[in-house]
Amino acid sequence: MEKSSVKSSKLITKSNIKSENESKSSLCSDSSGQCYMKRENASKFSPLLRQILTAGAPILSTVAAGFTTGFSAIFLPQIQSNSSSINVTNEESSWIASIAAFGMAPGCLIGGFIMQKYGRKFAQYFLCIPTILGWLSILFAKNVPFLILGRLLTGLATGLLGPPASVYIGETSEPKYRGFLLASITFSLSFGILLCHVLGTFYHWRIVACVAGVFPITMFIILSFVPESPSWLMTQHRLKEAEEAFLWLRGNSHDALFELESLVKKHDILKKEEDATEEQSSYEKLKTNLAKPEFVMPLAIILFFFFVMQFSGVNSVAFYTVSLMKNITGAGNEYLSMIIIDTVRVLVSFIACIFLKICYRRTLMLISGVGTSVCLLSVSMFMYFDKTTPNNSNYSWLSMTFLIGYICFISFGIFPLPWVLQGEMLQQVTRGFSSGLTSSFNFICFFVVVKTFVDLSETLETFGVFLVYGCIALIGTIVLYVILPETKNKTLQQIEDSFSSKRS
């Protein structure tokens, strides 16, 4: 067995210096039949452009997920108008708005299983099916059941996207570009919401559904030109395909070859462990992997980070933007208020992509966490003063200023970072399972926070809800600063090894 492992390492190391112009065909395929552009054609572009193209598939799918999130805000006012061709009750409207969330959590678990067993690319191909079918169902709907079916399918597709999006980008990008590309997930989500709201302000909801269906089709085409994740191919012992995919993505630089060699060494270690436990059942092997610190520790950190992100109120504010603006300022133009907030969120999400390229993760988390906490507590305080001293109008604009500040601070750190860390920190051999678990937990928290906002607002009043969110953000920031490791500019293998080295 040892000779076999050494031989595989040498085979890949030697083949790194092969000519990039060996093949004459424009596409190559792996053993699963999936095709992508040959390296002789891809070499016309820099490794960065190749990595951006590869990230383009999950990014476009995330834009479609933004349409799913933002659709109800522009859809419900139109369908509830007297000129609507479909008549809906208030109860049916609430189902149409909320049913998408029911498919997200199970979608994450299914997506995690698919990407672990069949690959990151296949998982993304698969989610195109419910996305396209869902938007087609909405586009041609003539009654409420078809609308509910379409929303359920698009929600399921959003859940299916959760695990492979960040993992695929994390496994196919260079350490120095990884933060920027992973942060583009939350940017594209914010952009999708904004685009959906802008289109819905000026056009019929069926046109919006038609535009949303273009993104998964484009994503499907892009996937045909990019390779499978080298890390996943390694776990399947498909070494030659893994090498070809890695060099397609990263080129032949010294750092790239060093990382490839570390991947091969990790493969050899895992192969030895598999051979040593060959007689164990799949359940026993999974149980062994789940007990390792490189699984438990990053999983716990990411779960806690998702909890802090959601219970800092990021989606409550997003879902109830219009009512909050009315509550604070009395503004009457609902669509303008919505688009202003969306635009701020998109701009800050874009800035977050740049910050994650140049700033350390812990530093960004600390600045974002402290700023978010201060803004939430300030909004709570000034809303309370505005309520108890209604004759003083100055507090309204202060509340509004800190609300905008809150959106800015949470959007460049606390909001994108859990997704970035999900693509960086999770153990390689259980990455599909653990990313499905963390994404599913995120969407469960998402549902709980949005569902309880109205009830909490009636019990504690709005300033009390912001006080709770502010305290959670502050405590969460302190804890995260203590437990969060730095991952910037480290390879995925170095990050995983840092957890395994803490084994007692």
pLDDT (tens, 9 = 90+) of the chain, 504 residues, equals 444 444 444 444 444 434 344 433 445 555 445 556 655 555 667 899 999 999 999 999 999 999 998 888 888 888 888 788 888 887 788 788 778 888 898 999 999 999 989 999 999 999 999 999 999 999 999 999 999 999 999 999 999 999 999 999 999 999 989 989 999 999 999 999 999 989 988 899 999 999 999 999 999 999 999 999 999 998 888 889 999 999 999 988 888 888 888 888 877 877 776 666 666 666 676 677 777 888 889 999 999 999 999 999 988 887 777 667 777 766 556 677 778 888 988 999 999 899 888 889 999 999 999 999 999 999 999 888 877 776 655 677 788 889 889 999 999 899 999 999 999 998 888 888 899 999 999 989 988 888 788 788 888 988 899 999 999 999 999 999 999 999 998 888 888 888 876 654
* pLDDT at residue number 36: 61
pLDDT value at residue 477: 97
Give the per-residue pLDDT at 283: 65
Characterize 103-123 residue by residue with b for buried, 16 or more Cβ atoms within 10 angstroms of its Cβ, and e for exposed.
Answer: bbbbbbbbbbebbbebbbbbb
Rounded Cα distance, 344 and 190, in Å: 10
Residues 6+ apart with CB under 8 A from 143: 86
Q: CA 424 from chain center: how many Å? A: 12
SS3 17: coil
Structural domains in the chain, CATH included, are 39-226 (1.20.1250.20), 293-500 (1.20.1250.20)
Q: Which of 99, 80, 78 is nearest to 89 (CA)?
A: 80
Residue 4: alpha-carbon gap to chain centroid: 38
Retrieve residue 8's tokens: 């595989």
Kindly report the number of other CB atoms within 10 A of residue 176's CB atom.
12
- Region for residue 485 given its phi and psi (left: phi exceeds 0; alpha: psi -120 to 50; beta: otherwise): beta
**Whole-structure pTM value:** 0.81
The confidence score (pLDDT) of residue 372 equals 96
Sequential DSSP letters for 26-94: SEEE-TT--EEE-HHHHTTS-HHHHHHHHHHHHHHHHHHHHHHHHHHHHHHHHHTSTT-SS---HHHHH
3-state helix, strand, coil in the chain (%, to 5): 80, 0, 20
Give the model's pLDDT for residue 417: 94
Instruction: Note the pLDDT of residue 34.
Output: 57
Task: For residue 91, give Cα distances in angstroms to 96, 374, 457.
Answer: 9, 38, 21
pLDDT for residue 267? 79
Q: What is the pLDDT of residue 61?
A: 94
What does the pLDDT read at residue 18?
43
For residue 328, give both structure tokens: 């604070």
Q: For 360, list phi and psi in degrees, rounded to 5.
A: -75, 150
Structure tokens at 43: 């070499």
* pLDDT reported for residue 108: 93
Burial 437-469 (b: 16+ CB within 10 A, else e): bbbbbbbbbbbebbeebeebbeeeebbebbbbb
